[in-house]
Amino acid sequence: MLAQLHEDDAWTRVARSTVYRALETLEGAGLVHAMRTPQAEMRFEWVADQPGHHHVTCDGCGAEVEVPLTSIAGLQREIREQSGFEVSVRHLALRGRCPGCRARIEQGQAAS
Taking only the tens place, the pLDDT of each residue in 62-94 is 888 888 777 778 888 999 999 999 987 777 778
Mean per-residue pLDDT, 8-18: 70
pLDDT of residue 103: 93
In this predicted model, which residue has the larger pLDDT, 110 or 61?
Answer: 61
With b meaning 16 or more CB within 10 Å and e meaning fewer, what string describes 26-59?
A: beeeeebbeeeeeeeeeebeebeeeeebbbbbbe
Q: Which pTM was predicted?
A: 0.53
Task: Answer yes or no: are the C-beta atoms of 23 and 16 closer than 8 Å.
Answer: no
pLDDT of residue 9: 60
- pLDDT of 4 over the 60 cut: no
